[in-house]
Structure 1
Amino acid sequence: MASTIKAVLFDLDGTLLDTAPDMADAANRVLADYDHPPLSDEQIRANTSYGARGLLTAGFGTIPSHLDIHQLRLQFLDYYEQNICVNTSLYHGISPMLTALDNMQLPWGIMTNKPGFLTELLLPFFPELMRARVIVCGDTLSVAKPHPAPLLHACEMMGIQHQHCAYIGDIEKDMIAARAASMPGYVAGWGYIGADHTPQAWQATGILSHPGDLLSIL
């Protein structure tokens, strides 16, 4: 039976790009400012896809009452902007997978909760990602994932009915958003899935072990 998927949207951090080294460095610099130890490798893996708030909350344990999470996030963003692509890289297999989608003339795009100004700074380092048909960021609309509106907006921009567009992401929030948008959602099993995460319970359409596995469902 032919696939009903006519387009694909991807999360960015932990799905297309391994941004953990540079995001963790920014978080560790904030932690050092307050004499806190750096994040462990497991904390980094489990929290990078949750952005500044996730990494900082993991590092501090509990944000001290005398500190403002919004100010801490601004410090993080400042550090991250300064060194946004020092050790960030495409996951192995992403480039040939995107080329295959292009050869199939299957439109694809990016829907990330990363702020727009950081996404615009980062993507030019990776020419493959600049071929995206649409790029929707965490602040493109007034709401972000797990709200379905950004996914529906991206589908509308591509001219694809949402039920025929798959969403690929590496955290439960991505699958919640996909279900709310009535889109098939697939877990990027190569992404930032922590030891205590249970993707089998995320009610996803499927779990992909490798980027190339996406091609087998199209």
Structure 2
Amino acid sequence: MANHLHAVLFDLDGTLLDTAPDMAKAANRVLADYNLPPLTAAHIQANTSYGAKGLLTAGFGTHPLPSDMTMLRQRFLDYYEQNICEHTALYPGIAALLDHLDATQIPWGIMTNKPGFLTDMLLPYFPHLMRAHAIVCGDTLPLAKPHPEPLWYSCECMGVNAAQCAYIGDIEKDMIAASAANMAGYVAGWGYIGEADRPDKWDAHGILRHPSELIRHLSPSA
């Protein structure tokens, strides 16, 4: 499978975009509302890909979480929406990889668990990402990752066979989803992988240390 990839799907946070500075800022504003200290660098690295719940759970630590997590998450989303792209940036090498995919006519898309309204706000800051053949978010369908349905739907939108598509992500849940969808899963080794994570133990086809390493797995005739 790895030598016959004709399409690529990417996770967003921790794979295409380094959103940690802005997401952590929003989480820290919530924590400050509860008189809690800001997140550590290790907390941010290990939890950004898990969104509001991951960051805030880490930030509260041994302190009890509020009973209304919906309210807590909404407060985070409100803060994040206010400053969604102050320091967020494409990871080094992503623009060149996407240019290569476009030049070789290899379809590619984005499949993220980020809510659709935030994704729609963020992507226009990055013209490269607006060229995606499909953009599927965590609330596009009733089911989100690690269920394979959003990956299948993304492939359907791109008009490609899932068995000839790779999914690139930075957490184990991404690899579980790829495997369930019968897709080749590759770990974005530059993403939000915490010190306790063991990506070598995840059900992945490989760990990419730089975006350019994906190119050798693509079919030259795609």
Q: Same fold (TM over 0.5)?
A: yes
Q: Residue type of the partner of 2:122? A: L
CA contact (8 A) 2:14 2:49 kept: yes
State yes or no: 1:120 paired with 2:107.
no
For 2:109, the equivalent position in structure 1 comes to 109
Gapped regions of structure 1 (runs ≥ 5): none
CA drift of 1:120 comes to: 0.2
For 1:175, the equivalent position in structure 2 comes to 175
After TM superposition, the structure 1 stretch with the greater mean CA deviation from structure 2, 204-213 or 67-76, is 67-76
Distance change >3 Å, CA 159–CA 36, structure 1 → 2: same
Q: Structure 2 matches for 1:19-168, cutoff 5 A? A: 19-62=19-62, 64=64, 66-168=66-168
Gapped regions of structure 2 (runs ≥ 5): none
CA contact (8 A) 1:52 1:73 kept: yes
Distance change >3 Å, CA 62–CA 155, structure 1 → 2: farther
Q: Secondary structure at the match of 1:207?
A: strand
CA drift of 1:67 comes to: 3.6
CA drift of 1:62 comes to: 4.8
2 CA distance for matches of 1:153 and 1:213?
A: 26
For 2:13, the equivalent position in structure 1 comes to 13
CA contact (8 A) 2:146 2:173 kept: yes
2 CA distance for matches of 1:47 and 1:63?
A: 17
CA RMSD of aligned residues (A): 1.3
After TM superposition, the structure 1 stretch with the greater mean CA deviation from structure 2, 134-143 or 2-11, is 2-11
CA drift of 1:61 comes to: 1.4
CA drift of 1:69 comes to: 1.4
For 2:198, the equivalent position in structure 1 comes to 198
2 CA distance for matches of 1:93 and 1:120?
A: 23
Question: How many residues matched?
Answer: 218
Counting aligned pairs with the same residue, the percent is 68
TM-score by length of 1: 0.98
CA drift of 1:64 comes to: 2.1
TM-score by length of 2: 0.96
For 2:211, the equivalent position in structure 1 comes to 211
